[in-house]
Chain A
């Protein structure tokens, strides 16, 4: 259970916590300025993290009616 709580915080730290360090235009990645790419990347990572949380969370193994 504990690791799920930590995973919850990861997107917040990755996006908001790192913002002061990634607020720059170069290098361009996928045609986007770096700060914009950083955020787009984290949107995708957030999705992945939520997927991992879902797999680890024992509540999701039960049937549909919890």
Chain B
């Protein structure tokens, strides 16, 4: 088995396998616990999860076959390779890899949080949350060290089957059991919390929803592990075919929301990040311990499977697309050893953030997306035949975008606090959109400014790659 066979499955996967591979990476413990958590805590705005995934499939119809064809023609293995090849710039490849690493850390934190919540809740509190996070991190590390990438594909299939079955059951059974049906449940919520089932006039308003969905659609395929899963397809047609059925699969999330909505009146009082506990708290109120065990088991898989893929991707990115660029002479065996060595270190970093941050899963996912979306403008332009953007513009744009996201996140600003005089609809825009817009402007300006420079460099650098 050569490297191409191992990393991208020899580019021979058909529609069903690519569908399963991608679903395995897209539906994580976030869909299980975070989706119901937002329905519980925020109401209607939780619907963004359903919509951004659906609209991303529309984008995929055009985007993925283009990415796939270029990757096949140039025998690319990773997302970094794509940037290196398109912009003739190894530095941009390293930057893209680092953006991937930084963006995936919050997503790994989500999986650890999920593991912690599931273990501590399903043990009826016998194991504390922080003990459970440590146990989760250790088991995740061992799992990755033993199984590697390909072990996870079939576990991913089992995970998806279990998740769909359990979510479908809970989403139908719980509203009927407690309220006698869906409509009586929603009417009861509307009576108890007027306005909760509508988008509010400010905060998580309609304009927040639209800007967030657009941001997430742009970021959806920028995740390094999802991007390289594209390479594994047999043809570009695979993606156009999958785009048809994939939106229907997202309807599963409706049932996740139904669970969260049932919990509002049945297990009230979970505030802030505790909203993510709502699905399990409600299940514990309702079912016998043996069934909690089954729910917990499925929940563990939804955290372990994507968690292991993410850990592996981050470790491989650092070893192969960052370290190897600086030390091109090292052997592949050395790179694999380094990647394995990095797994526990990354897990430790994720544990640190899990135990020290009080964010909900949804907030973490949105942060990861704000970061990874910064790769989208330069990727989109690179698909044009005569790309007006050069590597200087791409690098400057990505770095500016990242800097803005980090500043905004650390200072906890919103557009409202930055520009208090704007109308309410503009204040509610997702801040990630600002970073993306500035990224875009900087990218174009710098590309024009350095146009001559890039033309002079080009013939020489082609031979370097």
Question: Which residues between 3 and 56 of chain A lie within 8 Å of chain B, taking CB atoms?
Answer: 8, 11-12, 15-16, 19-20, 23-25, 28, 30-33, 35-36, 39-40, 42-44, 46-47, 49-51, 53-54
Interface assignment of B10: CB less than 8 Å from any CB of chain A: no
Does A35 lie within 8 Å of B44, measured CB to CB? yes
Interface assignment of B244: CB less than 8 Å from any CB of chain A: yes
Closest CB in chain B relative to A35 CB, distance in Å:
6
Does B51 lie within 8 Å of A39, measured CB to CB? yes
Rounded to whole angstroms, the CA-CA distance of A64 and B55 in the bound complex is 25
Does B183 lie within 8 Å of A39, measured CB to CB? no
Closest CB in chain B relative to A42 CB, distance in Å:
8
Does B61 lie within 8 Å of A31, measured CB to CB? no
Does B183 lie within 8 Å of A19, measured CB to CB? no
Which of A11, A24, A42, A47 has the most chain B CB within a 10 Å cutoff? A47
Chain A residues within CB distance 8 Å of chain B? 8, 11-12, 15-16, 19-20, 23-25, 28, 30-33, 35-36, 39-40, 42-44, 46-47, 49-51, 53-54, 57, 59-60, 64-66
> Which one, A15, A28, A31, A66, contacts B55 given CB within 8 A?
A15
Interface assignment of B251: CB less than 8 Å from any CB of chain A: yes
Interface assignment of B18: CB less than 8 Å from any CB of chain A: no
Does B206 lie within 8 Å of A19, measured CB to CB? yes
In the complex, chain B residues whose CB is within 8 Å of the CB of A66? 65, 69, 235-237
In the complex, chain B residues whose CB is within 8 Å of the CB of A49? 58
The interface size bin for chain B is 35 or more
Chain A minimum-CB-distance residue to B47 = A39
In the complex, chain B residues whose CB is within 8 Å of the CB of A8? 58, 61-62
A50-B58 contact, Cβ under 8 Å, with A20-B206, A43-B247, A43-B251: yes
Question: Which residues between 226 and 268 of chain B lie within 8 Å of chain A, taking CB atoms?
Answer: 234-237, 240-241, 243-248, 250-251, 254, 257
- Offer 9 A-B interface pairs, CB within 8 angstroms, sorted by A: A28-B187, A40-B50, A43-B251, A46-B57, A46-B58, A59-B237, A60-B241, A65-B235, A66-B65
Which of B186, B198, B244, B248 has the most chain A CB within a 10 Å cutoff? B244
> Which one, A15, A24, A44, A54, contacts B51 given CB within 8 A?
A15
Does B54 lie within 8 Å of A11, measured CB to CB? yes
Rounded to whole angstroms, the CA-CA distance of A21 and B364 in the bound complex is 30
Rounded to whole angstroms, the CA-CA distance of A3 and B248 in the bound complex is 23
A50-B198 contact, Cβ under 8 Å, with A31-B182, A32-B182, A64-B235: no
Does B183 lie within 8 Å of A28, measured CB to CB? yes
In the complex, chain A residues whose CB is within 8 Å of the CB of B244? 47, 50-51, 54
Rounded to whole angstroms, the CA-CA distance of A11 and B61 in the bound complex is 13
Does B240 lie within 8 Å of A57, measured CB to CB? yes
A23-B186 contact, Cβ under 8 Å, with A47-B248, A64-B235: no
In the complex, chain B residues whose CB is within 8 Å of the CB of A24? 198
Rounded to whole angstroms, the CA-CA distance of A31 and B258 in the bound complex is 11
In the complex, chain A residues whose CB is within 8 Å of the CB of B209? 16, 19
In the complex, chain B residues whose CB is within 8 Å of the CB of A47? 244-248
Does A19 lie within 8 Å of B199, measured CB to CB? yes
Chain B minimum-CB-distance residue to A62 = B237
Does A50 lie within 8 Å of B51, measured CB to CB? no
Does B58 lie within 8 Å of A11, measured CB to CB? yes
Interface assignment of B332: CB less than 8 Å from any CB of chain A: no
Rounded to whole angstroms, the CA-CA distance of A60 and B235 in the bound complex is 11
Does A60 lie within 8 Å of B44, measured CB to CB? no
Chain B minimum-CB-distance residue to A64 = B235
Does B240 lie within 8 Å of A54, measured CB to CB? yes
> Which one, A19, A28, A65, contacts B210 given CB within 8 A?
A19
In the complex, chain A residues whose CB is within 8 Å of the CB of B199? 19, 23, 35
Does B213 lie within 8 Å of A31, measured CB to CB? no
Rounded to whole angstroms, the CA-CA distance of A40 and B53 in the bound complex is 12
Does B197 lie within 8 Å of A33, measured CB to CB? yes
In the complex, chain B residues whose CB is within 8 Å of the CB of A20? 206
Chain B minimum-CB-distance residue to A16 = B210
Interface assignment of B289: CB less than 8 Å from any CB of chain A: no
A64-B237 contact, Cβ under 8 Å, with A8-B58, A28-B183, A46-B247: yes
Does B61 lie within 8 Å of A25, measured CB to CB? no
Does A43 lie within 8 Å of B197, measured CB to CB? no
A31-B62 contact, Cβ under 8 Å, with A19-B210, A40-B251, A54-B240: no
A43-B44 contact, Cβ under 8 Å, with A25-B186, A28-B183: no
A50-B247 contact, Cβ under 8 Å, with A23-B199, A36-B44: yes
Chain B minimum-CB-distance residue to A42 = B54
